[in-house]
Structures are given as structure tokens and as C-alpha cells.
Structure 1
Amino acid sequence: MAHFIRSGHGPEDGLLLHCMLANARALDGLTAKLAGDMQMLSMDLPGHGQSEDWDTARDYAEMARDMAVGLLERPAHIVGHSYGGYVALRLAVDHPELVRSLTLIEPVFFAAAKHSDPAAFKTYERSSRAFIGAIAVGDLVSAARAFTADWGDGKPWESMKPDAMDYIIERMPLVAASGASIVKDSGDVFDRLSEIDVPCLLIEGQNSPPVMGAILTALVGQIANTQRVEVEDAGHMAPLTHVPEVAALISAFQEGQPRSSEIS
């Protein structure tokens, strides 16, 4: 069901979860930098890369969570970017026995922003209407343009290669499918965040939309053992555009954790 890539030779186990509309290869730069820290599995989310397509009869977030659970034979350090960060949170609250630590790089858990900064959440809702509305009427090209303008790496849509455009366009319905979990909190995640008792690193880009800061503020308020750091001059795609900086933050965080061999 779940396609994954093995990498690294470090002493710890890690699972990496990419952002919406990408695939596991998007994190190759990061895994190369973290090779000495962890033995990693980088998983393709449902409907991405070479993983199984989304089963429309299932909740998308639950399918992503279950695919990740199926890869974990023992507790691991979970690193998630964007939607992958939300999936990491689902793992932490639904299967805490499988999580050693959390590294969340701009997790798009928009529902959390409602608790810390309702105005920022409403601004996000207004800006998202462009791509959500286009998806609803089947105009996936316009939806893709609008979505990447808000949540891409800053490059113009026209600069992408045709195959990259097609990949994104075909997967825009997955963006709509994710809304129940990340906007409406259908998984009842927020009220369970206080149950997370593993160390958590929150990474944000200095130039990211204000709603991201609101999300991280809400998470800091709910998760006890949390560090929050900012990547200078970075945006939402920091693990792709600022690989050395993000990798250094994760490595430093990992160095502060007890080794698996030290835990009985």
C-alpha cells in the first residue's frame, strides 16, 4: 500500500512525511543531511508518488495515518512537513506508542489557528477560497495556480515543467479531501494535543503566511515539551529551499534526545 524510500545509517529510527502534492523524493536533500542521525523511511502519502491511490470511500487523513502505521515496527522519530506534519500529529495522538519525538515543519493544522488567532484563520479561509472554489467546479488548472501561489516555493507557475504541472493538477482533489481534517478538525486532534508527552520541535519560515505562526502558537500552548525555531528568509517550503538550515535544527534537536538503547 505505502511506497517508501530507505536512507541513512544513524542509530535512531525515523519516518519522514512530505507535503501535499509532492512525494518522498522531495525530502532527499534533507535525508542526505540527516543520514548520520537516523535510519529513515520516507513515505509517499496516499495518491502521491508510487503509493496506493486515495480510496475515496475512506477519510484521507485516516488513510495516510494508517499507511504510516503500517511502516513502523517500533517507535520512531517522526518528521513531517506541511500536510505531512498534520499526519505526524495524528500519529502522535492516535498511536503514541509509535512516536519517540516529533519534528513538525509548518504543519498545516489550520483548525489550531482558530484557538490562538481567529483573525489569522479567517484570513486563511478567505485566501483559500480561490483554490477550493476552483476545485469544486472542476477547474483544476486554476486551482493548482492559486494553491501553488500561496503554498509553493515562490517560483511562478509558468516556470514549472509540464510533467510537474500535470502531477499537481491531477492531485488537487486531494487538497479538498484534506480539508475536513486540517480545517474542521474532523479527527478531534486539537483537544488531544495535551496528551502528547514526547519532545516536539516546531520549525517555521520567517516569511510564511501569518496563519502558520498562529498554528505554531496554538501547538506550543497545548504540547508541553516543545521547542519553536524560525528559519531566516525561508517560507513554507523551507525543507526544500533551506535544506542545510533545517537539517541542522533537526540534528541539534535529535542530539538532545535519549538514545533508543538508553530507554528500557
Structure 2
Amino acid sequence: MRDTTLEDSVFVRTLGQGGRKVLALHCTIAHSGAWSALASVLDGEATLRAPDMPSHGRSPNWDGRGDLFDLVTKLTAAQLTEPMDLIGHSFGGMIALRLAVEFPQLVRSAALIEPVFFAIAAQDTPELVRRHHDEAKPVSDAFASGDMEKAARLFNRMWGAQDGPRWPDLPERTRAGMVRGIHVVPAVDDALFKDTKGILNTGVLGRATMPVLILSGSESHPIMPAIGYGLARRLPHAETGVVSGAGHMLPITHPQQTAAVIQSFWGRSS
């Protein structure tokens, strides 16, 4: 009953007006409004259905019970009411990937923007995973000490400050939203780093037979293109793309360029 109640109360934003139906999945400590600029570029071509994850945006808080990756996957799958194109960013890209392998009949194509599937890098480029762990240690230490505001500030600096405003320059409401959602990060670490959901098991990625685009920013942490190339090699029909000059937050900071790559991909995969 608890999951059903949460499912009924998930906030879903509709952006743009166009014939192509798209399910857009935001990154951790953001919200569905993060797709506004990209949707504006795609308006007239696509309609984006963008849910807020639990503990994000206008959706209710996650109560900390159960498996969060499973819960978000279930809640997001409820939005796949017809065959749709997927766009997912960061952890949202991981949800999109899981939907592609679990519900391939409902996914026409998937654009995965810097999916944080660190387990691929652990297999292909373990030295980059060690570097990432070293660089993320201040964030991990903040979690260990229970300082959620510090964890959010450092996590934002690691993944978003290159392209966007620094923590003191963010509106208080934005900072509060990031602190609210930051607890989901350690809750999904095992799924992302150790592949506890078995996505890399033999035959699983082969279910995703639709066209897949894996998109990175040219200025992102080098672990991101390593993940992208590794994932593309493991999928049946995947290609990679790069947005020049962008970091991890490319759909927000470079919406025109990101949209252009996705539109070209849609044109080739239609």
C-alpha cells in the first residue's frame, strides 16, 4: 500500500508540445524542471513527460525503507503507458537503461546522458574508478559524519560547479532541495558501482534492442566517457556522442547543443 500511495502522488511535469512522446528522467538532487530549457528547444517536435523522483521536486520524500533503485524504477515504469523515447541524465540515465532492458517493448529509443554506471568502469578502467573514489572521499566523509548539507555542497561542486553557479550563489530554495535529496546517493551506490541488479549479467543488455545514444560532455570527468564507450560496446545498437565544452550538467548548461545531438539521433533511428 505504501508504494501505491507514493506512485499516486509522484509529481509529473509536462513540457513542450510535439508528436514525439518522451519520458525525461532527471539527475540526483535536481527535479523535473531541469528539462525546461531542453524541452523549449524541442518544442513542436516532442512532448516531455518528466516525473520528480522521490525526495526531489514536488514528489513526496522517500521513507528510507526498501530498495530505492527498485522503487524509482517501478515509479518511473508507471509513466511508460505507451511506446516512448527515453532521455535520462546521470542517475536518471541509469533508470532509463533499466527500463530499456526490462520494458523494451515500450521504449522506442533511449538517449542516456552521462549514465553513472560505474560498474562498467570498474571492469574496463579500474584506475578511473580509484581516481573517482579518491576525489569523492570528502563527499563520503560528509555522509559518514551525517552532515547532509556539506555532502550536498561537495557533491554539487564535484558534478555541477564547473558549468554552473557555486553553492553560495545558488538560491536558498535550490540549496534546500539539494540537501533534501542528497540521501539517495549512498542508497544506490551498490547498484551503480557493484551492479547488484545484474544489468551486466550475460544477456541482460541484449534485451535493449532499440537504438541507444550515450552522450557525454567533453569537459566531464574522464570516467564518464569511459562508461559511455564501455556501455555502447555492450549494447546491441548503441552509439556515443559528445557535446563540446560541456561538463556533466550538459542538458541544463548546453540545451541547444544537447538537443541538436538528440534530434540527429532521432532522425537516424526513426
TM band (smaller chain): over 0.9
Which residue in the other structure is 1:166 paired with? 176
Which residue in the other structure is 1:217 paired with? 229
Is the CA contact (8 Å cut-off) linking 1:37 and 1:254 kept in structure 2? no
Matched residue SS, 2:141:
helix
- Residue number among 236, 261, 264 corresponding to 1:249 in the alignment: 261
The one-letter amino acid of 1:221's match is R
Do the aligned partners of residues 109 and 22 (structure 1) sit closer, same or farther apart at CA in structure 2, a change above 3 Å counting? Answer: same
The one-letter amino acid of 2:268's match is G
Residue 22 of structure 1, CA deviation: 0.4
Q: 1:216-253 CA distances to partner (integer Å, 9 max, x unpaired)?
A: 12101101211211111100000011010001111111
What does residue range 49-88 of structure 1 map to in structure 2 within 5 Å? 49-88=57-96
TM-score (norm 1): 0.93
Is the CA contact (8 Å cut-off) linking 1:116 and 1:217 kept in structure 2? no
Residue 194 of structure 1, CA deviation: 3.0
CA RMSD, 1 decimal: 1.4
Identity %: 33
Number of residues paired by the alignment? 258
Runs of 4+ in 1 over 4 A off after TM superposition: none
Q: 1:62-94 CA distances to partner (integer Å, 9 max, x unpaired)?
A: 111111111111111000011100110111122
Unpaired segments ≥5 residues, structure 1: 259-264
Residue 170 of structure 1, CA deviation: 2.3
Which residue in the other structure is 1:240 paired with? 252
- Residue number among 82, 89, 112 corresponding to 2:97 in the alignment: 89
Is the CA contact (8 Å cut-off) linking 1:208 and 1:236 kept in structure 2? yes
Which residue in the other structure is 2:144 paired with? 136
Is the CA contact (8 Å cut-off) linking 1:115 and 1:218 kept in structure 2? no
Unpaired segments ≥5 residues, structure 2: 1-6
Which residue in the other structure is 1:148 paired with? 156
TM-score (norm 2): 0.91
CA distance in 2, matches of 1:171, 1:248: 30
- Residue number among 127, 131, 139 corresponding to 2:135 in the alignment: 127
The one-letter amino acid of 2:55's match is G
Is the CA contact (8 Å cut-off) linking 1:109 and 1:182 kept in structure 2? yes
CA distance in 2, matches of 1:105, 1:15: 13
